[in-house]
Amino acid sequence: MDADVASCELDRWEALRSNDTVALAALLDDRLAYTHSNGLVDSKEAFLARLSSGAMRYVAIETSDETLALHDNAAIACGRAELTTEAGGKQFVTQIRYTAVWCQAGDEGWRHVAWHSSPASA
């Protein structure tokens, strides 16, 4: 496992947990496609705006079954997560399977370019 991209993945989870949109923005590629488990797709700007406005907030995140595979200048992280989110004054707990794609962006380091999640079966 490449320590740099693994560290970026941990930093991304922590930025989500703490609602640190500044740290998160630094990790996300401008071309990000973020597909939520309900099928909604956000761009980088839309995702950050959703978090900044409080329309959505990650309350807790527990990950498991994580793997990271390197492919030249790309890395694919997969796993399971239990996400506790808040939206519209309500809390939701969602079990997901996810795929996170990272690309090496030259001197800028690793950038998160794609996220796709779906509800996990029991």
Q: Where are the alpha helices (DSSP H) in 18-92?
A: 21-27, 44-53
CATH assignment of the domain containing 11: 3.10.450.50
What is the share, in percent, of the chain residues with pLDDT greater than 90? 89
pTM of the model: 0.91
Range(s) of the domain holding residue 92: 3-119
Kindly list the strands in the beta sheet with 41-42, ordered across the sheet, starting from the edge strand earlier in the chain: 41-42, 28-35, 110-119, 90-104, 74-87, 57-71
State yes or no: pLDDT of 1 exceeds 60. no
State yes or no: pLDDT of 3 exceeds 80. no
The tens digit of pLDDT for each residue in 52-66 reads: 999 999 999 999 999
Task: State the total domains in the chain.
Answer: 1
The tens digit of pLDDT for each residue in 34-92 reads: 999 999 999 999 999 999 999 999 999 999 999 999 998 999 999 999 999 999 999 99
CB-count burial class (<10 Å; 0-12, 13-18, 19+) for 91 = exposed
Tell me how far apart the alpha carbons of residues 98 and 103 are, in angstroms, rounded to a whole number. Answer: 17
State yes or no: pLDDT of 108 exceeds 90. no
Two tokens, residue 112: 């998160």
State yes or no: pLDDT of 30 exceeds 70. yes
